[in-house]
Structure 1
Amino acid sequence: MLFKNRILMYNALVLILFVTLIMLMSLNVIKEHSESQFLSIKESIVSYNKKLLTTFIQSQNSNLSKEIKLINIEAKYLAYTFEHVSMKKVKTNNVWISDTLSEVFENRPKYIKAIEYIDISSDIIHRFDDNGYKTNPFKFIRSNFLEKQKLYVVRDDNSHNIKRVYFYEQLTNIKQGVIAIDIELNQFIESLGIQNLDDNFDFTYFLMDENINLITSNPEEFSDNKVMNNYLYNLNEDIKEKIKDKKTGVISIEINECLYNLTFNVNYKTGWYVFLVTPESVINSSYSSIKSYLLSSDDKLINYFILLILTLLFVFLFINSMVMKNLISPMNKLILQARALRDQKYDKAMIKIENKGDEIEGLSYVFSEASSTIKTLIEDLEKKVEERTLQLEKVSQKANEANKKKTIFLSNVSHEIRTPLNAIIGYTEILKENNGIGNKNNRYFNGISNASHTILSLVNDLLDLERIKTDNYELKYKKVKLIKILKDIESIFLPLSIEKGLLLTINTDDVPNSLDIIIDELRFKQALSNLISNAIKFTYTGYVKLEVDINQSDSVLFKVIDTGIGIPEHQLLNIFKNREQVNVEDQQEGFGLGLAITNTILTLMKGNLFVESKLDQGSIFTIELPKETVVNDISYPLFNIEEKRCAKKDFSNLRALVVDDVEFNREILQFQLESFDIKCTLAESGIEAISAIEISDFDIIFTDISMPIMDGVELSKTLKSMNIHTPIIAVTARATVQEESKMNDFFDYYITKPIDKHQILSGLCCALDM
């Protein structure tokens, strides 16, 4: 038998044996591991479904918190209304109480069943409901008034049923009086989106108090709900303690030999629990279909695998046969050529083997060309290095151009977002003032304004990050009292912490009133504010604390400590990256730039930012600044920055020219200037503004930067060439570093859109030197 045929036969036999073994082993492995894989999949599905149920309950808990907060606000409002109405009544007898209750009850929300006035001094309760007015003896217990959210549940002594749910509010001017609001239980049910679920979803839900006693449920809608009620009334103490310890989660329970999943979550404001009971089949519902699908896929995979193996076998035998026919004879010559190339004998290696144009001849040609190419590369190496250098320079130039385009893009983003925000915020303020403070739509206006300022904050974060990462960005150091910075921070965040029910502590005991710190005050406040704002945002109970340690030998430490939700350990390395937010289940609004900006600012100040955190226990963010920060070191570039504080002046005799090509921008600025009694003249373009200036004299000019034909910069240049020196304030929607430099060169002051009265007031004071 010929050598090539023996090789072909041996290769075929080895390949067939190898393929057979691989096929048998693969089938065996698939069968052995299928069951374990299905169990793993089942565990994953059950775990995932439990997380979905937990997340769903948490969202319903949030709805409950919002509803209770709204009811609390309504209780305060009704108490205020009661006092306001009662001031008009003659208090010679109790008739004024019934009349006042009647008038307040008439305008109550529908979910309030009754309004009661408790006279603490006489131990009498005056009640007004749909049945009219009546009085009863009543001993007011002060401890009930101090319960969570001023909410008190009254139960029947002989059953588990609730008689009433009250919200109490102490009257301000009537010291011995308390207003009690009797709330419909259905109001708490309606606040939960659970009742709007698909009818095909088998579930039962309950609202329980802090002692795991029933408040309300959905008994009319499910046949087995009474069984659920009886089970939960008699829930054993071990399960109750487990629920109280975990606060949130999923536990399995057995009712009448049927397995159910009890998903629960505590409301930290009221102490109440939201329970959702679903059959075990809900969590396992998707497993059987997935298993069937996977088994079908495995069968198809095995068939395809066998078909593929057989196809590859025949292809291999065919190719192997074709190659062996022409490979053997010229092999030695090809080996010699390869050895010549290996030994760098390029002249011998470039001799081509003629073999009827087959693969061997092709390899020979490749070796020959490779030899020629290597020889040429060696000779022209220096030239290639020079060419590569030129290429790198071109790449660097393209990178610089891309960076410029990024700056232009940020400027455009700022302009395109700030311009409509100016209209939204401006018109909202106009509507609020025109409609009056007491208008019920004022809440909606506040919602629009808050949402708009949130968008503006996001844009400012992006621009802040761009500013501080600019190569030529410089910090503006000055000497300032450390105690002043701490007091400013306290005044900013104390109302926010009180509103959220948190204790905010700023430890200033070790900080002397005379201690100076040399720093960029604005940027350091921004860094410190970012940390405290995050701490308050992600802390729902407990405290937020700022500690200052100036006694370290080589540094000054500022520690922000909270008892919030904490950060997972595997996320600690990511929190200072751009656009990173951790705690996805509790994700807040924003791009995740706050900590990135803070870290960059502190790096510019030659400081460091550290974090320690444990999940569900809290976090500690530490700012470390160099020790020389707190001494008067003349090596620091001190800037004499005069902070101009402007009180409202009398502008009634001023005339202002407003120049903007967008109508709503002119209207909003005119409205705000006229609130200062300033007379306004409007112009749609720079050319129209010049015409107006030639006819009349103006005390101040407000001009947009981006306008067609003649923009704000050209208008400023033209007025200076006409020897007109009226102060000009630029109004711009762009706020990049490059734009700020341009505005400082051509204008007396500039304000950014969306504009407000504080900006206008500062601009007027500075531009007019008042």
Structure 2
Amino acid sequence: MIQSRVLLNTLLFCLMLGFALLALRTIWRNEKNLAQLKNAEQKALAASEAKSLFLASISHEMRTPLTTILGYTELIKNADILPELESKYLDHTIHSSRHLQSLLGNVLDMSKIEAGHISYNEENLNLRALIIEIEAIFQPLAQKKGLTLSIETTDPIPECLYFDGGKWRQIMLNLLSNAIKFSDSGKVSVFISIEQINDGPFHLKAVVKDQGMGIDKSESDLIFKPFVQTQSGLKKGGTGLGLVLSKEYARHMGGDLSFISSRGTGSEFTVTIQVRQGKNTPAMPEFNKADLSHLHILLVEDQAINRELMRYILCDAGAHIIEAESGSIALDLLHRNPLINALIIDRNMPEPDGLQTMALMRDNGFFLPTLMVSAGLPPSEEDMQRVGLKAWLSKPFQARDLVNSIFRVYHHLNEQAQPAGPISHPLPLFNPAARSLLDFSAERFSSLCQKGLIRIEELLHELTENNFQHNRLIAHTGKGIALQIGAESIAAQLADIENTQGQCKADQISELNILLVNTRMAMQHCHYSSPSDQSVSL
């Protein structure tokens, strides 16, 4: 009996030892597999990080030479020295360069997301202004393809919201760019609304619908995969990152991006993000904006939607806006509106373009504080000096940049016109040194002087004894012209009227008329004016 128990215990011990050894071996294998998995995971993470770093680095490095290529290509284009066919080839080069620039930007953003380095910047923003800006970008593109673009909003829509406007803008740019790219006819519509469910957070919702080629159901799963494209996407070009980035942005902002589509019937993309009610701020994005209530600005821009955006910004700062869609209309308005005392003009317009229009204004005796805006390259120093342009603002610009730029341009000229201290000696009727400041030929400066005096004469007829505000604006305009042509005594008299808030007596007007005649004679003595121009009645 005892021997049987000993044998049984020995057998049980051997079995337990075997199971223990088996368990130890299993644990060892699991630990080994776990170590291999961790090693593989680390290698995968390192590879992913290296890929993201490479993409970020190569995208950034490629931007520098691409910017140079694009810049010099546009310089050649703007020089207007090529025949029509070569100019068309250059347009294709510029278009492709800009497209490549956009693709590189998407690759760089994707690498930032994968590396966890993407940042979100919430701020108080004016939603309606953002919508106008987006429409200004895409309306010309839609018109070029023969498409109808419609952007509608619920009414009322909050003026000020707190969210990352930059990311939302990029989402909308991606969605609208795709809608136009994949549509050859029909309509692209956008509907934007604010929703709140059960007293929860506000959601900004945008629905972008097109009547383009649509997406086959078999390819629906590919839409939000990075670097993967549908068959239609392969035909139209791109990296396959725009929608991926948009979905990531929307999710990080508490929303999502979804779509419904079928082949041949178009697509409908819906994006939502969480927003908060903004602070009770002015209509435009927050900034320490200048007061433009004293400015009567002539706004010259051929695109109606761009004029609407700038008018919105400038009127919000108190400016009085007179609009023109072309240079020729602008010249006519200047002749009919003596109150105009500042100019904002787009460079790239149908002939005459911005620079040509400014040259025509100067030839007609109009010298206004001017801000030029454009999405292209700035004019050369030679061109700026030739037309008297002092300031340039690149598109796209922020609201504060537009307001503060025209404010600085206006007051810089105004400050230049003020004497540094009491005048201890009489100013000359005419200072020939004005020609050297403009770097004009004698013949051209003579023509300028003649036209400038004619314009000053017209302005003097506008002066009255009782309309102070009107007088102040007239005096400022005439002072600027007088300073440009070296009529320093006239400029000083007009500055006095301006500095006394437009108070003007009859004897001052008579004195100005006499100064005008004497200034003409002084210019004739220096061979800068024609005797036949003396048409002022005393």
Query: Normalising TM by the smaller chain, what interval?
Result: 0.3 to 0.5
Higher RCO (Cα < 8 Å, 6 or more apart): 2
Greater strand share, 1 or 2? 1
Which of the pair has more CA radius of gyration? 1
TM-score w.r.t. length of structure 1:
0.33
